[in-house]
Homo-oligomer: A and B are copies of this chain.
Amino acid sequence: MTLQIGVIGVGMIGQDHIRRLTTVLAGASVVAVSDVSAEQARDVAARIGAKAYATGEELIASADVQAVIVTSWGPTHAQYVLAAIQAGKPCFCEKPLAETEADCLAILDAETAFGRRLVQLGFMRRFDAQYRAMKQTVESGAIGAPLIFQSGHRNPSVPGYYTANNALTDTAVHDIDIARFLLDDEPAAISVKSPRKNSRGGGLADPLLTLIEMRSGALVSIETSVNIAYAYDIRGEIVGETGVVTLAERNDVVVKANGVFSGRVPADWRERFVSAFDEEFRQWIAAAGAGGATGPSAWDGYVATVTSATGVKAMANSSREIIALRERPSLYRTA
C-alpha cells in the first residue's frame, strides 16, 4: 500500500518534498533519486536509504519506481514528464510544466494519447484551505457572479538574478493559476503596468500590476511586490455582483503591548503554505497510488506557461496582448 516514489532533482525543493514524503505523510516511500549532480544524488540516496540513478530516464524506467516527482531545473521538466507519460507512470511536476509552448503541447498530446491523466502540476495554492473556502463561496452564489479578482503576491526579497520576467513566470504564475481556478475561467488578454520602482530592488521593475481579461469578461489584477521586506504576504479578494470574498488574515495570537496590538505575518512561502503542501502531496499519493493524478493538470501548466509568456511580451511592448490557447482537449474538461 506504500507508494514507491522516485525524485528527479534533489535540490532544495526536491529535498523538502522528500522530507515531507518520508517524515510527515503516510503512504509514501522514496526509493529512487537522481540529480544533475551525481554526488548530491548519492548523498541524498544514502541518507534516506534510496537508490541513486545516473539519469532521470533510468529512474523512470526502474521497476522499483511507481511514481515520479520532477523537481529538477525548469528547462529539463518537459523531457522527464514526457518520459514518465511514455512509461505510463504518475508524475508530479513542479512548475513550470515546460518552458516553451511547444513542449507543453507535446506533453498535452502525449497525455491525451495515453488516454488518462498522469501529470499533476505543483500549483499548491489549489490545496490551500483559504483558497478552497474562497472558491466554495463563489460557487455558493453568496457574492453573485465574480467580476474582479484582485490578487496580491508579496515577497520580502528576491535573489540578484531575479528579473522582471521572473515576476511573471515564477511569481505571478501562481496568481494566474489560482485566478483560473477561482473563477473557473480562461485568460483572454494581458497587460502589465510597471509603476515607480522599489528602491530596494536594485533597478528591478518591481512592483508590477498585471491585468488579465478573462473570457467571461471578469478582470484579474495581480500586484507582485517582490522586495517588500516586511513579510511573505498573499492577499486576495473577489468582487462579485452582490458581495465580496476576501482571504482572511490568519494569526495565532494577537499581542497588545506598548500602545499597539500586533501579530505575525508569515515569513516565507513555506510557512504560509505548509498545510497546502501537505494536502497537495496527501492527495497526490492517493491519486498516484491509483495510477493517476488530481488537482492541477498538464492543461493548467500549459495555460500558465502561455499566459505568463504572453505577459512578458506585453510588458516588453507596453501593450495589451491576446492570449492564444489551443482548444481544451476533452481529457481536461472534467472538473
Q: Which of A's residues lie within 8 Å of B, judged by CB?
A: 21-28, 129-130, 132-134, 137, 142-145, 147-148, 150, 152, 154, 193, 195-200, 207, 209, 211, 213, 216-219, 221, 223, 225, 227-231, 233, 239-265, 267, 275, 282
Contact = CB atoms under 8 A, between A and B. Distances in A.
25 contacts: A26-B26, A137-B255, A143-B256, A144-B198, A144-B229, A145-B199, A147-B198, A148-B207, A193-B213, A196-B219, A198-B241, A200-B241, A209-B219, A225-B239, A228-B239, A228-B242, A228-B244, A229-B241, A243-B257, A246-B255, A248-B251, A248-B263, A251-B261, A259-B265, A261-B265
B195 A253 contact: no
Nearest to A19: B26
Contacts of A129: 252
Nearest to A236: B253
Contact of A134 (B130, B253, B267): B253
Given A243-B256, A260-B265, A261-B265, A147 B230 contact: no
Nearest to A263: B261
Closest 5 CB pairs of A and B: A196-B217, A243-B257, A133-B252, A195-B219, A262-B262
Count this chain's copies in the assembly. 4
Contacts of A130: 252-253
A152 B147 CA distance: 14
Given A144-B199, A231-B256, A261-B264, 9 more contacts: A145-B199, A147-B195, A154-B244, A195-B218, A198-B241, A199-B241, A228-B239, A242-B257, A261-B262
A250 to B, nearest CB: 5
Contacts of A231: 256, 259-260
B241 A228 contact: yes
A217 to B, nearest CB: 3
A244 B216 contact: no
Main DSSP-derived SS at the A contact region:
mixed
Given A199-B241, A211-B193, A267 B259 contact: yes
- Tell me which of A28, A132, A239, A264 has the highest count of chain B C-beta atoms within 10 A of its own C-beta: A239
A179 B237 CA distance: 21
Given A241-B200, A248-B253, A148 B195 contact: yes
B263 A260 contact: yes
Contacts of A227: 241
- Tell me which of A227, A228, A233, A247 has the highest count of chain B C-beta atoms within 10 A of its own C-beta: A228
Contacts of A228: 239-244
Contact of A253 (B27, B137, B223): B137
Contacts of A23: 26-27
Contacts of A219: 193, 195-196, 209
Contacts of A275: 275
A125 to B, nearest CB: 13
Given A24-B26, A229-B241, A253-B247, A223 B148 contact: yes
Given A196-B145, A198-B147, A218-B196, A244 B256 contact: yes
B143 A257 contact: yes
A249 to B, nearest CB: 7
B241 A223 contact: no
